[in-house]
Chains A and B, each alone.
Chain A
Amino acid sequence: DQQVKQNSPSLSVQEGRISILNCDYTNSMFDYFLWYKKYPAEGPTFLISISSIKDKNEDGRFTVFLNKSAKHLSLHIVPSQPGDSAVYFCAATQGRGGADGLTFGKGTHLIIQP
């Protein structure tokens, strides 16, 4: 039973354009959501997070949107750069703003085309 779903295994976007990565969750107890980026042979790197009391959080080129009623979040990257090519994982947790273990999606491989 997958509680966090990333339905697009891969996404190809032209350099300079917007990348939109989507994530759905089923557990209504989740109250903190995170995005991680992973390069080959490295561990996941934290990108951005959002609490369930907010519907948007922005950090530079990265913005995360949360729609609680739809149990859906998305990560927007504007503008997309070649270094953004990586696997992106959506993760969720409940309680204490993320101090508990994370439940991850399967990831989306983002490819930025020059």
Chain B
Amino acid sequence: EAGVAQSPRYKIIEKRQSVAFWCNPISGHATLYWYQQILGQGPKLLIQFQNNGVVDDSQLPKDRFSAERLKGVDSTLKIQPAKLEDSAVYLCASSSYRGPYEQYFGPGTRLTVT
């Protein structure tokens, strides 16, 4: 079974530029999550999708971050405009709605904002 795929793996941009990350979850997993992991911290949930609907986006900075999950499969997370404090690893995870509910993570995208 293929795992969660993410691209790109690394991205360097200047502040005020925009950037987008892509995630392809494990086949059949209805629930998809985006997490932000700042250096020295644990991952922090940004947004959770159930199929193509948003379940929880309470920690998503909506003035600059947006996410979508078209057709309930792939997802894209966008930052526009980026700030220095957005430098982090962005992790995508997926889980099965029918259980078990453990979340499976992709390798992440390391974003550096200069």
Contacts and interface: CB of A to CB of B under 8 A. Distances in A.
Contacts of B43: 44, 89, 102, 104
Given A99-B31, A100-B56, A43 B105 contact: yes
Interface stretch (B14-22, B66-74, B75-83, B96-104): B96-104
Interface residues of B, number: 26
A99 B44 contact: no
A101 B33 contact: yes
A49 B102 CA distance: 8
A4 interface: yes
A45 B40 CA distance: 18
Interface string A82-105: 000000010100001111111111
A101 B102 contact: no
B61 interface: no
Dominant secondary structure of chain A at its interface with chain B = mixed
Nearest to B58: A101
Nearest to B6: A43
Contact of A98 (B45, B101, B106): B101
Given A99-B31, A100-B48, A101-B33, A45 B42 contact: no
Interface of B: 4, 31, 33, 40-45, 48, 55-56, 91, 93, 95, 97, 99-108
Interface of A: 4, 32, 34, 36, 41-46, 49, 89, 91, 96-107
Given A46-B102, A46-B104, 16 more contacts: A36-B105, A42-B108, A43-B107, A43-B108, A44-B105, A46-B103, A49-B102, A97-B99, A98-B95, A98-B100, A98-B101, A100-B55, A100-B56, A101-B33, A102-B43, A103-B45
